[in-house]
Amino acid sequence: MDELVAFVAAELSARADPESAAAMAAYMKTDMPFYGVKTPERRRILREVMRRFRVTSHRDYERAVTALWRRPHREEKYLAIDVAGSYPVHIVLASVPVYRTMVTEGAWWDLVDGVAADLVGKVARDQPAEMGPILDEWIDDPDMWLRRTAIIAQLRHKGATDEARLFRYCLARAHEREFFIRKAIGWALREYAKTDPDAVRRFVLDNREMWSGLTYREATKHLEVPPR
């Protein structure tokens, strides 16, 4: 795993672009350093990582993801998420503590949302009996990013969405003034509306007074409903 991390750092350093790094940091409103490596190049590095390094055990999986995550640059954290998502066999309940750490330490949408939808979300879909109670705790957690994760964890679930849980979570956080929660509720409902538009329309209209304008607009973006 040390070799993997050293390889990633070397590859990112070789592609560093200080001008792009400054622009990326400004866009993300962060003091965390960037190399200035854009997504296509990062994907090339990921492909080479997958070719060169074998992660065969769950222990190695967690070590690789954690070691990359602990690196100081944002692209290294992006690659930690990319590597985590590249081993579906290890995206299981046992990995949730690692994902939780990534959410709480990432604490910004670009580091949280992929973990929420693709990593936590896969566990929630594959192991709902085990993951459900954890999400039930996160939806009331003091950490806003865990609450956001609970709301958007089912973004990719389509017909497998636990509708009752999704709607319950949306109502539970509808009173919040936090932008990222209001946006998450609308986003989650908009995605589920692609699967069951009638259910989302009824739910949104039945609880119309609960929603912020942002949530309502996001949730009903592709639905025929009265204006808010």
Q: What are the tens digits of pLDDT across the range 66-121?
A: 999 999 999 999 999 999 999 999 999 999 999 999 999 999 999 999 999 999 99
Q: Where in the chain is the domain with CATH 1.25.10.90?
A: 1-90, 104-228
- Closest C-alpha among 178, 170, 177 to residue 208: 170
1-90 architecture in CATH? Alpha Horseshoe (1.25)
Query: Is residue 30 scored above 90 in pLDDT?
Result: yes
CB atoms near residue 111 (< 10 Å):
22
Q: What are the tens digits of pLDDT across the range 137-146?
A: 999 999 999 9
Query: Is residue 46 scored above 90 in pLDDT?
Result: yes
- Closest C-alpha among 85, 87, 113, 83 to residue 5: 83
The pLDDT of 16-29, averaged and rounded, is 97
State the pLDDT at residue 227. 85
Class of the 104-228 domain? mainly alpha
The chain-wide mean pLDDT, for the chain, equals: 97
Task: 122-131: list long-range contacts, CB under 8 Å, 24+ apart.
Answer: 122/88, 122/91, 122/156, 123/91, 123/92, 123/93, 123/95, 123/96, 123/99, 124/153, 124/154, 124/157, 125/154, 125/156, 125/157, 125/160, 126/91, 126/92, 127/92, 127/93, 128/162, 130/93, 131/93, 131/96
Query: Is residue 228 scored above 90 in pLDDT?
Result: no
The pLDDT of 29-56, averaged and rounded, is 96
